[in-house]
Structure 1
Amino acid sequence: MTKSTTEKKEAWNSLGIFFLLLITFSSIAYYAILKLNPTSIYVGLLMMCPALASFLTLKIKGRPISSLPWSLNNLTYLKFSYFTPILYVSIAYILLWIFGFGSFFNAETISEWSAELGIAESNQTLVLFTMVGLLLTVGVIKNLGSTLGEEIGWRGFLIFELRKVMSFKALAIVSGVIWAVWHYPIINLMYSRGDSLLLHISAFTLMIVGMSVVLAYYTFKSNSLWPAAIFHSVHNIYIQKICTPLTISNESTSFWIDEYGFMIPIVTTVFAVYFWVKAGKEGL
């Protein structure tokens, strides 16, 4: 058996252990989310499952946790990973507002932010910029603990193991599909009572696969999991805490808005194609 064949067999073995552990841990977390109250803490537990699965896999395989790509020698990709989600989400929501699938901005959100900040509601501009600034700094840092739990598993462990057995383009898609499917029970919980579950699942999957191409690129170029963790945190905060709350909905909004509508997936697909081509040219 050649060294290459041996390495691939070992990689598949590690991946098998990882998936078995991931399914076990995630099943426990999903049971808690679906059956117990309150659910918010259990969502945090779910987000830690990829990290726990990767840590235990490394322990079983006799590999140190320090073998994960913890270091960050080039801050360039950390900066890119911060601003990239801001860019594609901004494009998506501006298009959404321009085409009338929602409108900017929601005065009720400004009123809530005013009360939270202790700034007079009459000074809407100050309220808006203060809260957005705080969310994109303090909020991103606070959320980093949760996204790090996922990214240790997805980008710190999974894609590096997949890289031993498949090309960059293949692993980017495969890791994206795995990441998306892992979220399906949550999406089912959110939309199972409506008639658009498949629509929202399709939109979310398209978005996640697109993001996975970009995240794989930044991870391999930096040889670090930190850009992915920052990227993921900014993506969550900017959509969930800023752009969606500032949007006034209408009858078309749900089809286009947020992570489960189609505007962000369309834009992330364009970004994914760019990084897909870029990775090929750079020989990743």
Structure 2
Amino acid sequence: MEKMLMKSRKSIILFLILTFILSSICYFIYINFGKSASSITALLMWCPGLSAIIVRNIFYKKYKVFGFGKCNGKFIVMSILIPMLYLGVSYGLYWAINPAAFTGQVYSNSIGLMIYAFFSSILTAMGEEIGWRGFLLPKMSERFHYKYAVIICGLIWAAWHYPLMFAGLYQAGTPVYYQIPMFTVEVVLMTAILGYLRMNSGNIWPAILLHASHNYFDQMICGPLTKADKSVYYVGETGFLTVIFVLVITVFLYRKNRKKSPNL
């Protein structure tokens, strides 16, 4: 048991070191070259996944670590519906309060491009989820009580975004003193939802699809449908309305299934 915990500790430390070293290269390129290098974000999102694959080949070569395989369809449906729910309700409420903010225009009128964008979202989300929920959260759960593992992993995931946020290249539009705390709260809550799907399904696909669906609906549909200088205070990844509804879903999921799942 002690050897297993030591291996787990070493693998977590190496994963984090590799993730932030690889990510730092992407940060440097994006921050120094700006939007002309925005395509580097796809590689950035794969830094956790690549790090996890390296660590797995060092410490767990004979084991299936990441949770790929057949998955109960219930969790697949939940992974797509949950982002539609909290984004749809929060943006819908904002549009109702501020009708002038509704543009009526999505990211593209091309069905082909929208389909391509969704599958692209799956591919990039996969890079993050292999690392954060495929490897890090299960390994953290071996060392800490699950709820603490969720909080720690959520804070690490949030901090991973900070360099681009401080540089004004991600979720811009609000002061840092508002942006960072609000974003961090939402990311920790999202980690709880993603973790719920990952640990209760025993599979990584629901986490990948929820992450991809969140990015897609927020960035390709709800975001473009909204045009207002102050909208980022209310909706999206720094919006308090979205945070409230993510919190409601998080509490609902955990209270409803607390007695059924030993992981909660």
Q: Settle same-fold status: TM greater than 0.5.
A: yes
Quote the offset at 1:134 in angstroms.
Answer: 7.3
Deviation digits for residues 195-245 of structure 1, max 9, x if unmatched? 711211111111111111111010011111111110001101101111121
Runs of 4+ in 1 over 4 A off after TM superposition: 191-195
Other-structure match for 2:72: 74
TM (norm. structure 2) is 0.89
**TM-score relative to the length of structure 1:** 0.83
Residue 247 of structure 2 corresponds to residue 269 of structure 1: yes
Aligned positions of 1:187-202 closer than 5 A:
187-190=165-168, 196-202=175-181
2:217 matched residue in structure 1: 238
1:222 is aligned to 2:201: yes
Q: Counterpart of 1:281 in 2: which secondary structure? A: coil
**Is contact 2:7–2:59 with CA below 8 Å preserved after alignment?**
no
Structure 2: runs of 5+ lacking an equivalent = none
Aligned to 1:148: 126
Name the SS for the 1:163 alignment partner.
helix
SS of the residue 2:168 aligns to = helix
Equivalent residue pairs, number: 260
Q: Is the 8 A contact 2:87 2:236 kept in 1?
A: no
- Does residue 205 of structure 1 match 2:174? no
Q: Deviations over 1:120-148 (max 9, x none)?
A: xxxxxxxxxxx5x974x543222111000
Structure 1 CA distance for aligned equivalents of residues 116 and 90 of structure 2: 24
2:144 counterpart SS class: coil
Write the deviation string for residues 163-190 of structure 1: whole angstroms up to 9, x where unpaired.
1111221111111111111011121122
Please give the root-mean-square deviation of Cα atoms over the aligned residues, in Å.
2.4
2:151 paired residue among 154, 161, 173: 173
Distance of 1:191 and 1:69 partners within structure 2: 32
Superposed displacement of residue 78, structure 1: 0.9
Kindly provide the CA deviation profile for residues 49-69 of structure 1, in whole angstroms up to 9, marking residues without a partner as x.
000110111122252474321
TM superposition shift of 1:41: 2.0
> Aligned letter for 1:226?
W
The structure having more radius of gyration, on CA atoms, is 1
Alpha-carbon deviation of 1:264?
1.0
Is the deviation greater in 193-202 or in 86-95?
193-202
After superposition, where does 1:1-150 map in structure 2 within 5 Å? 3=1, 5-36=2-33, 38-64=36-62, 66-100=64-98, 103=100, 105-107=102-104, 109=105, 113=108, 116-117=109-110, 135=114, 137-150=115-128
Larger mean CA deviation between 89-98 and 150-159 belongs to 89-98
Q: For 1:279 and 1:205, how far apart are their aligned partners in 2? A: 25
Cα offset, 1:24, TM superposition: 0.9
Query: Which stretch of the first structure deviates more once superposed, 54-63 or 156-165?
Result: 54-63
